[in-house]
Amino acid sequence: MNKKEASTPIDIRQVKITDPFWGAVQETVRREVLPYQWEALNDRVPGAEPSFCMHNFRAAARLMERKTQPGFTEPGYTFRGFQTLPEDKEHPEADKFYGFVFQDSDFYKWVEAAAYSLSNHPDPELEGTVDGAIEIICAAQQESGYLDTYYILNGMDGAFTNLKDHHELYCLGHLIESAVAYYQATGKDKLLRAACRYADYVCQCFGPEEGKCKGYPGHEIAEMALVRLYEATGQEKYLDLSRFFLDQRGTSPNYFLEEEKRRAQKEGRPVPKDDSSHYAYYQAHKPVREQEEAVGHAVRAGYLYSGMADMSRLTGDKELLAACKRLWDNIVKKKLYITGGIGGTAVGEAFSYPYDLPNDTAYSETCAAISLAFFARRMLEISPSSEYADVMELSMYNTVVAGMALDGKSFFYVNPLEVSPAACKEDTRLEHVKTVRQKWFGCACCPPNIARIVSSAAAYAFTEREETLFTHLYMGSEITKEVEGIKLRLILESSIPWEGRAAMTVHTDAPAKCTLAFRLPGWCRAPAVTGPEGMERVEKEGYVYFTGIWRDGDRVELSLPMEVRLNAANPRVREDMGRVAVTRGPICYCMEQADNGENLHLLRLDPGAVNKAAISQIEICGQKMTSLELEGFRREQPEENAPLYAEYATPQESQACLKFIPYYAWANRGEGEMSVWVRI
């Protein structure tokens, strides 16, 4: 790593998003998602699965008042996905923990999203709600600093005995992320102090020193969160703990295996065999610096790689950076959906083997796409290169946004690239695929995760060094940046993702020397960028840099023509043989039954038609977006009782107009078929 190359995300308080696309998504989150999620966290949404998140904090807080602790007994799991649920859902017992073992994190994610929203939209009522909730959370914290309601309520003697599957360190990570965000947004440090106390306690318990626990998180995030806490507080111990977690992961003897052996012995179960490969799900099958293939649970992987990138940025650890680059390459070249999603298989919500990218059984979890954007931004922070921003853009404009309905009222956990509602009803292999977005999930990781990335979108669009501002995503904004004491106001106008024009205008009271850098998107064949006369202009790694003295009214204009493009997959992707996907600019398009009728698989695109594609506007749920019409053919459906097999004859086809809408907007007009890939 070259420290001179590194940049940091812009403080979102410096940015006012004016972008029609992202402005609308942020407004939806602010108006719909944040209030709704608060209700959900408090089990007040009729018909939705209860969360029990705030219930657990309240129960733990009451327990703290009484200063008594139960002895640890693992609560039984119910059938529905490892939750502990009350016998009567309407009347949970006041002292008991319910829901998933990681339920605390949902509150933290919500606070983090709320903090980002408050950064730009002061809202005393929302802030009051958060403050009140923080009181409860802090009241639940142990004197030691420990803070995880699962063990507080079920008995502290079990704490840190199942790092592999119980998410105490994951909850620590989310607590830190929310606490730093809320502190930065409001200046209030109560939650930050709680986060530091918990982190301090973990520092006491974990580390290379003799007698300390040699474990690490089963679900990663603490790694990158601790880096963030270090950057917010300057306390080296947090960086050290993060490094310890990274260094320790996957080393031999495998900690998770040792831990399992201990638990098995205690519980009289057969002791598991020595086989680290079982821990690939947790990316703990080998030391992180030796990992070459993105494997296991995709969200965990994305979070781990983000933490590795953070650490290499701060410490210049070249081996770690090389591992990040290898893993990045592996994802982008072998395991990435054209929608920016990752994690092809529902089994373990995980990366599948190289080039296994099924469309109908795809998992492509919303959170996994978010984690890929995290990883991409961190790689960008280390060294700006459009290869990272291209993928970040792909994830954010497609799968991340697809995770939420246009009205913000329902969500996808799984983001398939091909859906037949009839098949989803009948085929248990598609059990995980929903054809309409759900209101809330017992395992509600995705909705608050969408809220936090959407609310902080500016930090993905722009990063900065002292005298340089990078524009990675063309998100219309008003940005303030101080350079040598001079305050610049930079107005970015953008018609992306619908048209290929953008421009940045500088407003300043005094001339200022700095660099404005703009990404040349990979989807644009012939970008044309013009800056003010006399500026030094350099092109490097997919960015054009203008350096010089900027004066009021100086303007950079970008013409980034976006053609309708037919994409073919590498023929190693068996599922996509003989098919193409339609993109235009950063947007991946799909066909829906609402526009094209049933049996989308009978449609075929005329590859020559791409030059005659009709580009028009469509309004879905009150939101305007671009739709595309391309010429093609529709295979005739035989009569109802036609034989199953017949001698091959050239198929009877009629001319058809195939209509495509942005993938992120699918399933907003009722249930129906959808397909990203279309036969050619």
> Hey, which residues are catalytic here?
349, 445
Instruction: Indicate whether 649 belongs to the interface with a copy of itself (CB under 8 A).
Output: yes
The only residue of 14, 186, 345, 415 in contact with a copy of itself, by rule CB under 8 A = 345
The only residue of 267, 644, 654, 655 in contact with a copy of itself, by rule CB under 8 A = 644
CB nearer a copy of itself, residue 18 or residue 385: 385
C-alpha distances in Å from residue 593, one per residue of 249, 416, 430, 590, 607: 47, 15, 19, 10, 21
CB atoms within 10 A of CB 93: 12
- In 398-545, which ranges are continuous DSSP H helix? 401-402, 421-426, 446-455, 458-461
The only residue of 128, 253, 607, 670 in contact with a copy of itself, by rule CB under 8 A = 607
Please name the residues in contact with 608: beta carbons below 8 A apart, sequence gap of 6 or more: none
Instruction: Indicate whether 561 belongs to the interface with a copy of itself (CB under 8 A).
Output: no
Instruction: Indicate whether 271 belongs to the interface with a copy of itself (CB under 8 A).
Output: no
Least distance from a copy of itself to the Cβ atom of residue 578, Å:
6
Alpha carbon 353 to chain centroid distance? 21
Least distance from a copy of itself to the Cβ atom of residue 309, Å:
21
Asked if 24 and 407 count as a contact pair (C-beta separation under 8 A), the reply is no
Residue reference for tokens 């969360």: 51
572 Ramachandran zone, left/alpha/beta (phi>0; psi -120 to 50): alpha
Rounded distance between C-alpha atoms, residue 104 and residue 148, angstroms: 7
- Using the contact rule CB under 8 A, the part of the chain among 1-9, 35-43, 327-335, 531-539 near a copy of itself is 327-335
Least distance from a copy of itself to the Cβ atom of residue 361, Å:
7
Rg (CA), the chain: 25
Instruction: Indicate whether 326 belongs to the interface with a copy of itself (CB under 8 A).
Output: no
Rounded distance between C-alpha atoms, residue 388 and residue 300, angstroms: 19
Residue reference for tokens 């996994």: 368
Question: Scanning residues 394 to 433, which ones bind a copy of itself (CB under 8 A)?
Answer: 420, 422-423, 426-429
Which run of H or E residues covers position 113?
Answer: helix 104-120
Written in H, E and C, the secondary structure of 510-548 is CCEEEEEEEECCCCCCCCEEECCCCCEEEEECCEEEEEE
At position 590, the amino acid (one-letter code) is: C
CB nearer a copy of itself, residue 103 or residue 420: 420
User: 9: closest CA among 322, 240, 227?
Assistant: 227
Least distance from a copy of itself to the Cβ atom of residue 639, Å:
10
Instruction: Indicate whether 332 belongs to the interface with a copy of itself (CB under 8 A).
Output: yes
Least distance from a copy of itself to the Cβ atom of residue 638, Å:
6
Rounded distance between C-alpha atoms, residue 96 and residue 680, angstroms: 57
Instruction: Indicate whether 369 belongs to the interface with a copy of itself (CB under 8 A).
Output: no
User: 555: closest CA among 621, 520, 596, 506?
Assistant: 506
Least distance from a copy of itself to the Cβ atom of residue 601, Å:
5
- Using the contact rule CB under 8 A, the part of the chain among 4-12, 29-37, 271-279, 641-649 near a copy of itself is 641-649
Which strands form 477-483's sheet, in the order they lie side by side? 15-17, 477-483, 486-494, 501-508, 555-559, 528-530
- Using the contact rule CB under 8 A, the part of the chain among 96-104, 258-266, 306-314, 563-571 near a copy of itself is 563-571
Question: Scanning residues 565 to 594, which ones bind a copy of itself (CB under 8 A)?
Answer: 565-574, 577-578, 580-581
- Using the contact rule CB under 8 A, the part of the chain among 396-404, 405-413, 479-487, 647-655 near a copy of itself is 647-655
| Coil, helix or strand at residue 626 | strand
Instruction: Indicate whether 641 belongs to the interface with a copy of itself (CB under 8 A).
Output: yes
Instruction: Indicate whether 1 belongs to the interface with a copy of itself (CB under 8 A).
Output: no
Instruction: Indicate whether 333 belongs to the interface with a copy of itself (CB under 8 A).
Output: yes
Rounded distance between C-alpha atoms, residue 434 and residue 412, angstroms: 7
CB nearer a copy of itself, residue 136 or residue 423: 423
Instruction: Indicate whether 637 belongs to the interface with a copy of itself (CB under 8 A).
Output: yes
The only residue of 76, 643, 654, 655 in contact with a copy of itself, by rule CB under 8 A = 643
At position 244, the amino acid (one-letter code) is: F
Least distance from a copy of itself to the Cβ atom of residue 422, Å:
7
Instruction: Indicate whether 364 belongs to the interface with a copy of itself (CB under 8 A).
Output: no
Tell me the residue length of the chain.
Answer: 680
Question: Scanning residues 651 to 680, which ones bind a copy of itself (CB under 8 A)?
Answer: 651, 679-680
CB nearer a copy of itself, residue 232 or residue 678: 678
CB nearer a copy of itself, residue 14 or residue 435: 435
By the criterion CB under 8 A, which residues form the site for a copy of itself?
332-334, 336, 338, 345, 347, 352-353, 355-356, 361, 420, 422-423, 426-429, 565-574, 577-578, 580-581, 599, 601-602, 607, 610, 635, 637-638, 641-651, 679-680
